[in-house]
Amino acid sequence: MISETSKKKPKFRLHPTAILNSQRLRSSLMDTYDQKSVYKYIIGVILLGLSIGSLFYTDKLVEELEQREEREVQLYAEGLRYVVNSPFDENFNVVYQVIQDAVNFYQIPAIYVDENNQANPNLNIKFPKKVKPQERERIIAEKLAEMKLEHPPITVDIGKGRTGYIYYSNSFLLTQLRYYPFLQLSVMLLIGYLAYLAFSSARKAEQNRVWVGLAKETAHQLGTPLSSLMAWVEYFRSDPAIDPSIAEEIEKDVIRLEMITTRFSNIGSVPTLRQEPVAEIVSDFIHYLEKRVSSKVKFGVHNELAVEQTALINKNLFEWVIENICKNAVDAMGGIGEINVTLQAPPNTKEIWIDISDTGKGMTKANMNKIFNPGFSTKKRGWGLGLTLAKRIIENYHSGKLFVKSSEVGKGTTFRISLGANIIE
């Protein structure tokens, strides 16, 4: 039974500076998030600038090298012309060798096609070992076809009305250089991505430390006034002049405060999980809550679990999550409406789903993406921490999931807690 006194909760008014401070903290939390995305953009723009710069630079290099290679092939052509046209002398071979070496130096594949369409000689064409003559011809024909598409041939006028052509393609180096910027870009993106991951995980770890510190400190600080309050309760009890129901009510509130303190200190340490009957815990806690919120909110618990199932949970923290979600639901309904909690075990999964639905004002898609960010609140006096903590508790400590299953503006919202993998069948 709940006495009248506990139903009528005393109304606390926050001191104006407290409100101001809360708003200030909230907006500073929001600022951190906005700044984070600004940094992301700046880094993105720098990366893009570097990539474009490198692309242009390599493109210039490629162009230069291409011109140089063309010149080399022309030199080769010139050499051939010289060799063919010059009267035979003993320097013939030396000259030819020098020219050929120059082309070889750049590893430019080239094929000379004479006036009878004979493809010979060729330079820098790779053949497999022990190649048969037929195979060799086929490879040359193939290469020639490729070369014809790549560059216009260089004409070699060998005199007496005879003309030959040198076909050539880019050297291996040049081809590599062409693809290099893309390789570079991918490497840069990969490094950028890894850096971002490292950065954000470091930041998350930092945030976690702040949360843990805050929670532990709060719990610690509350300890002293709580034990003093407990002593006062005993004192009131021993005084016959004071109505004993007052002491009883104060004691209830002190016990509740102690529960909150335990929850806070639980956040810091790795909470102990036990196999608990989920349905029982949920329905017991909903009944507990029901008595503490406005009677205009109707609660319903629908247990659709076929058999009694247990999951590994920390009762205190888990109840806190349910409480946070239900309190938000009550806020969203303006204190009038229905909250339905449904427990299900979807077939073929080792999961338990706990859906908490309300008939409140719902939320927009844009807000849905932000509600788990610390500091996000649409309420005048909201801290925007409830769902952040709830998500942390479910996901980090219970290896479960907490998300908005559905929400429609003006109709209501359903949150889903999915406890996974810990269920004993």
Ligand X SMILES: Nc1ncnc2c1ncn2[C@@H]1O[C@H](COP(=O)(O)OP(=O)(O)O)[C@@H](O)[C@H]1O
Residue 106 or 376 having the CB closest to ligand X: 376
In this structure, the number of other CB atoms found within 10 A of the CB of residue 81 comes to: 16
Q: Nearest distance from residue 23's CB to ligand X, in Å? A: 12
Which of the 8 DSSP states describes residue 144?
Answer: H
For residues 61, 64, 66, 72, the Cα torsion angle rounded to the nearest 10 degrees is: -130
Distance of CA 244 to the CA centre of its chain: 57
Residue 69 or 358 having the CB closest to ligand X: 358
Q: Nearest distance from residue 252's CB to Mg ion, in Å? A: 23
Query: What's at 324, amino acid-wise?
Result: N
Residue 328 or 413 having the CB closest to Mg ion: 328
* Alpha carbons 327 and 180: distance in angstroms, whole number: 58
Q: Nearest distance from residue 379's CB to Mg ion, in Å? A: 8
Window 289-328: contact mask with ligand X (x via CB under 6 A): -----------------------------------x---x
Residues in 378-417 at the binding interface with Mg ion, rule: CB under 5 A = 386
User: What DSSP line would sit under 291-320, residue for residue?
Assistant: TTS-TTEEEEEEE--SS--EEEE-HHHHHH
User: What DSSP line would sit under 159-189, residue for residue?
Assistant: STT-EEEEEE---HHHHHHHHHHHHHHHHHH
Is residue 329 part of the contact set for ligand X (CB under 6 A)? yes
Residues in 331-390 at the binding interface with ligand X, rule: CB under 6 A = 332, 358, 360-363, 367, 371, 376-379, 382-388
Residue 181 or 337 having the CB closest to Mg ion: 337
Q: Nearest distance from residue 50's CB to ligand X, in Å? A: 39
Q: 181 touches which of Mg ion, ligand X, none (CB within 5 to 8 A by kind)?
A: none
Cβ-contact 164, 115 below 8 angstroms: yes
Q: 332 touches which of ligand X, Mg ion, none (CB within 5 to 8 A by kind)?
A: ligand X
Q: 384 touches which of Mg ion, ligand X, none (CB within 5 to 8 A by kind)?
A: ligand X
Sign of torsion over alpha carbons 363, 364, 369, 371: negative
Residues in 316-345 at the binding interface with Mg ion, rule: CB under 5 A = 328
Residue 312 or 356 having the CB closest to ligand X: 356
User: What DSSP line would sit under 94-105, residue for residue?
Assistant: HHHHHHHHHHHH
- Using DSSP, state whether 75 is helix, strand or coil: helix
Q: Is the preceding peptide bond at 225 cis, omega within 30 degrees of 0?
A: no
Residue 279 or 326 having the CB closest to ligand X: 326
Note the residues at the interface with Mg ion (CB under 5 A): 328, 386
State the residues that interact with ligand X by CB under 6 A. Answer: 324, 328-329, 332, 358, 360-363, 367, 371, 376-379, 382-388, 413
